[in-house]
Amino acid sequence: MIKNDNVNVNANVNVNDHGLRLKNLTLPALESFALSLGEQKFRARQIFKWMYQKRLPDFSGMANMPKTLRAALAEKAVIGKLEPRRILESSAGDAVKFAFSLLGTGYAAESVLLIDGDRRTACLSSQLGCALGCKFCETAKLGLVRNLSAEEIIGQLVGINDYQAAKGDKLVTNVVFMGMGEALGNFESFRAALSIIMHGDAFNIGARRITVSTAGVVPSIERLMGEGLAIGLAISLNAWNDEARGRLMPINRKYPIESLIGAAKRYHSKTGRRVTFEYVLIEGETDTGEAAAALERLLGGFPCKINLIPVNPAACNLPAPPDGKVERFAEELHKRGLSATIRKSRGRDIMGACGQLTGVDVGVDLDVDVDVDVDVDVDVDVKIKR
Ligand code: SF4
């Protein structure tokens, strides 16, 4: 396990020896930088387009800018790219897992591309490891190594689009923050990354096509509401009473179910978005008739969706419901007037709740046998690209 003692959890990489790292900047910050160089604001939009639409790694190809400006930029700033250390494609062709090397470290951030009809969904990581310790989650075993910078979050998206462009396939249409880490626990980087993802001169992905998953940090949900963004909110609920949820998710001791559902209801009234509750099904624990009745008491009458996720036993040693039980549990919820869907497993449930990526590509485990990675995470038949 990687220890995080005495580690600054914030990746403070805005400036390094090579200059200002531009992918950490929102458009207004980039405009201020352009002004500081004696340039006009519109240069920032041009740079934005080159960085995110053309995905250039440096200034040399920015054809609509004078050479003198490109040279000045190269002296003071850096763009750069995250390089994929490994890319795994699921045998069904519906999921691709990436491990991106993190700048200046031996670590990797994991992301997943999900392919479904016309939709190309990027599942991004926001932290390296996670501090919240959910029992069903492999990422939790790493502890929190550190927060990712905005550049490192955005870099995953640029890398996935590079991969898609090379294949001649569509670029990413949707984004979910369900990879490694609690995105709302890294709010500043997450917020900056969101502003870039949504901007028309960058990725131009609207709020309705973005979802953030949270383990239930209530003040951060309130803070997100204050941003007025109306992105989708998915709450990792996973249990129907505080005692059981507290065992699975230690964060529940701080923000119990009632406070969490209160925050979800406020989020819905403020944004108009239907909140999704992710609910991991564990045999004999969260998949019982008592659980269904309790969910009705908790969520009946609230326009929300329950996303049922059979636990991945290979990843966390908890028993999965037997065949047919997931469907029966969904049916039971429907009878009780609740809207429930079953998460389609792509590969071997490589997505999980809010971050079931194992981190086997991360740092200390670099020498791990790839087959282990494959078995645990991406199904039994994947093609190793790199
Ligand atoms: S489920 Fe999400 S919040 Fe919980 S430990 Fe895993 S990454 Fe962190």
At residue 142 the predicted structure's pLDDT band, cuts being 50, 70 and 90, is confident
Ligand 1 atom with least separation from CA of 214: 3
Global confidence as pTM? 0.86
- pLDDT higher than 60, residue 285: yes
The pLDDT tens digits for 310-334 are: 887 766 678 889 889 999 999 999 9
Is 354 a known active-site residue? Answer: yes
* Residue extent(s) of CATH 1.10.150.530 domains in the chain: 15-78
Task: Decide: 113 and 96 in contact? Cβ < 8 Å.
Answer: yes
Q: Ligand 1: list residues with CB < 6 Å.
A: 130, 132-134, 137, 139-140, 181-182, 215, 236, 353-355
Question: Helix 325-335 vs helix 289-299: angle between axes, to the nearest 10 degrees?
Answer: 40
- Measure 141 CA to ligand 1 centroid, in angstroms: 10
- pLDDT higher than 90, residue 380: no
3-state secondary structure 1-67: CCCCCCCCCCCCCCEECCEEEHHHCCHHHHHHHHHHCCCCCHHHHHHHHHHHHCCCCCCCCCCCCCH
User: Using CA atoms, how far apart are residues 128 and 179, in angstroms rounded to an integer?
Assistant: 10
Give the pLDDT confidence score for residue 314 in this predicted structure: 66
Bridge partner residues of 123 (DSSP): 112, 176
Q: 3-class DSSP state for residue 124? A: coil
Q: Does domain 84-384 have CATH number 3.20.20.70?
A: yes
At residue 377 the predicted structure's pLDDT band, cuts being 50, 70 and 90, is very low
* pLDDT > 90 in the chain, percent: 73
- Measure 362 CA to ligand 1 centroid, in angstroms: 16
- Measure 140 CA to ligand 1 centroid, in angstroms: 6
Q: 3-class DSSP state for residue 315? A: helix
The pLDDT tens digits for 152-193 are: 999 999 999 999 999 999 999 999 999 999 999 999 999 999
Report the 10 Å Cβ neighbour count for 150: 26
Q: For 243-267, what is the mean pLDDT?
A: 95
* Residue extent(s) of CATH 3.20.20.70 domains in the chain: 84-384
At residue 358 the predicted structure's pLDDT band, cuts being 50, 70 and 90, is low
Give the pLDDT confidence score for residue 105 in this predicted structure: 76
The pLDDT tens digits for 143-154 are: 999 999 999 999
Among 92, 32, 121, 98, smallest CA distance to 348 is for: 92
Q: Which fold has domain 15-78?
A: DNA polymerase; domain 1 (1.10.150)
Q: Of 130, 304, 316, 354, which one is the catalytic site residue? A: 354
The pLDDT tens digits for 261-276 are: 999 999 999 999 999 9
